[in-house]
Amino acid sequence: MSSIKRKKVELNAAGQSVGRLSSKIATILIGKDRPDFEPHIDKGGKVTVLNAKEAVFTGKKIEKKLYRRHSMYPGGLKETPAKKVKKEDPNEVIRHAVSRMLPKNKMRTARLLRLSFK
């Protein structure tokens, strides 16, 4: 069996909306942009995102959007506004969006490892 040739793609996030950019990234990581796509074989490419801090939210999402997590203890719901997450680590906003767009299976973590930022 031959080894998989992974495509290396650099995307500039400046001025692009987070959701549309993330869907492009997810498509490349899954490998759906390749003519020889097979869902059971991970042939996706490597993606490097440039200028992640310049990605934009449309509308009033930057003020209204909340990132939620739960500690599984009573009253353990934590909410962080998108504005704060973007200020502290703009890469995390894109990584979170891409993670939610990938299929929820065993290949998800391996695909996310091929996402990097400059």
pTM value surpassing 0.85: yes
Q: What is the pLDDT of residue 4?
A: 86
Residue linked to tokens 């969006």:
97
What is the domain range of residue 22?
8-57+91-117
pLDDT at 1: 54
Please report whether residue 65 resides in a domain: no
Residue 112 lies in a domain: yes
**Token digits of residue 109:** 């973590």
Q: Is residue 46 part of a domain?
A: yes
The predicted structure's pLDDT at residue 2: 67
Average pLDDT over residues 2-21: 94
Is 13 inside a domain boundary? Answer: yes
Total number of domains in the chain: 1
| CA dist., res. 115 & res. 106, Å (int) | 16
Residue 15 lies in a domain: yes
Query: How many other CB atoms are there within 10 angstroms of residue 4's CB atom?
Result: 13
- For 59-110, the pLDDT digits (tens) are 999 999 999 999 999 999 999 999 999 999 999 999 999 999 999 999 999 9
Please report whether residue 98 resides in a domain: yes
> What CATH number did the domain enclosing 45 receive?
3.90.1180.10
Instruction: Specify whether the CB–CB gap between 77 and 2 falls below 8 A.
Output: no
Q: Which of 2-11, 41-50, 85-94 has the lowest mean pLDDT?
A: 2-11
